[in-house]
C-alpha cells in the first residue's frame, strides 16, 4: 500500500533544491515514526517519489508525493504525525491510502497551474497576453540532452489569462510535451517588446491529470 500525499511549500523554502526537499521529507518521515518502507542494500533510505519536482524559486500550493507504507495507517494520523515532524513552511494538507498497483502519480500527470506575478513592466506584459495567445505558433528554444532544440509553445499553453495584477497559466506537463513557465515568460517578454525577460514571482497552484482533474484525487 502507499499514501498519496498533498503538501505545500512556501516562502524562503522555495529556494531549496529538489534533492534537499527530498532529504527533508525523508528526515521528517523518519522522525514521525510512521510505518514507511525502506530501500534494500548497504545504505537503506526511505522510499518516496514526487509527481513533479518544483523548480528552485517556485512555491507549491498542492504538490503531490507518494509514500510506500509497510502497514495500514489512518490518513488523519499520517497527516498529524508528518506535520509534527515537518518544518513550519512545509505542510501536509491531505493523504489518501491506495493499493501498491495504483497508477503512479507521475504517470498520470497532464498539466500544471501557475500564478505568475510580474515584478517589472507588468502593464506591458499583461496587455500583451491577448495578442500573444492569438499567434498560430510561439517558437522557442528548449534545452535538451542533445543541446538546444526548437519547440512550438502554443499547443502547450492550454490557458493564459490576466487576473488583477498577475497571470494564471495552465501549461502542459507531460512526457510528450511540457511548457515550462520560464520559457513561456521569456517568449511573452519578447512578444511584449522587452529587451530582457521580466522578473516575476511564481507559484505552482495545482498539478492536474490529462483530463484536468486534481492529481491528488486521481
Q: Determine the average pLDDT of the residues in 35-48.
A: 90
Grid coordinates given for 158: 492550454
Q: pTM score, two decimals?
A: 0.92
- The pLDDT of residue 41 is 80
Q: Which residues of 176-186 are buried (b: 16+ CB within 10 A; e: fewer)?
A: eebbbbebbbb
- DSSP characters for 80-99? HHHHHHS-TTEEEEEEEEE-
**Distance separating alpha carbons of residues 51 and 167, to the nearest angstrom:** 24
Q: Determine the average pLDDT of the residues in 180-195.
A: 94
- The pLDDT of residue 43 is 85
> What value does the mean pLDDT of the chain take?
94
How do residues 83-108 score in pLDDT, each as one tens digit? 999 999 999 999 999 999 999 999 99
| Torsion over CA: 108, 143, 48, 91 (sign) | negative
User: What band does 201 get if pLDDT is binned at 50, 70 and 90?
Assistant: very high
Amino acid at each position: 500500500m502507499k499514501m498519496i500525499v498533498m503538501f505545500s511549500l512556501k516562502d524562503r523554502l522555495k529556494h531549496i533544491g529538489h534533492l534537499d526537499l527530498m532529504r527533508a521529507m525523508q528526515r521528517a518521515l523518519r522522525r514521525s515514526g510512521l510505518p514507511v518502507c525502506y530501500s534494500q542494500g548497504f545504505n537503506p533510505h526511505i522510499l518516496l517519489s514526487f509527481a513533479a519536482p518544483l523548480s528552485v524559486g517556485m512555491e507549491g500550493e498542492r504538490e503531490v508525493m507518494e509514500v510506500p507504507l509497510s502497514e495500514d495507517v489512518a490518513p488523519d494520523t499520517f497527516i498529524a504525525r508528518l506535520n509534527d515532524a515537518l518544518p513550519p513552511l512545509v505542510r501536509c494538507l491531505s493523504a489518501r491510502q491506495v493499493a501498491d498497483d495504483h497508477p503512479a502519480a507521475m504517470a498520470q500527470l497532464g498539466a500544471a497551474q501557475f500564478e505568475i506575478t510580474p515584478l517589472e513592466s507588468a502593464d506591458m506584459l499583461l496587455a500583451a497576453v491577448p495578442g500573444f495567445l492569438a499567434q498560430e505558433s510561439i517558437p522557442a528554444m528548449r534545452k535538451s540532452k542533445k543541446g538546444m532544440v526548437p519547440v512550438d509553445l502554443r499547443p502547450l499553453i492550454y490557458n493564459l489569462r490576466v487576473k488583477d495584477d498577475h497571470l494564471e497559466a495552465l501549461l502542459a506537463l507531460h512526457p510528450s510535451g511540457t511548457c515550462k513557465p520560464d520559457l513561456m515568460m521569456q517568449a511573452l517578454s519578447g512578444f511584449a517588446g522587452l529587451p530582457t525577460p521580466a522578473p516575476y514571482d511564481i507559484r505552482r497552484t495545482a498539478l492536474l491529470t490529462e483530463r484536468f482533474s486534481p492529481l491528488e484525487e486521481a
